[in-house]
Amino acid sequence: NIGLLQNFKISAIADNYAPEQIFARQIQALGQPGDILILISATGSSPNLTEALKAASEKNIASIGKKTVKTKM
């Protein structure tokens, strides 16, 4: 179980690579075949999540995605 949302990691990757690489670079470094990537998105089209999916696919990591839906209360 590895969380990819630690601020210092996000800042370092965004500064040294690009904001859309914040999750992909971590998956490339830490991901192993047999791992599962779980993505949750409000839009389903964020470039950083698209790059994360590509990185996971390249390492034979399964992925599960969830697009949230706004509801009126």
- pLDDT tens for residues 30-41? 999 999 999 888
The two structure tokens encoding residue 50? 């698209």
pTM for this predicted structure: 0.74
- CA distance linking residue 37 with residue 1, whole number of Å: 10
Q: What average pLDDT score do residues 44-65 get?
A: 91
CB 43 within 8 A of CB 67: yes
**Residue pLDDT, tens place only, 60-70:** 999 998 877 76
Q: Residue 43: helix, strand or coil by DSSP?
A: coil
In 17-72, at which residue ranges do the beta strands (DSSP E only) sit?
36-41, 62-67
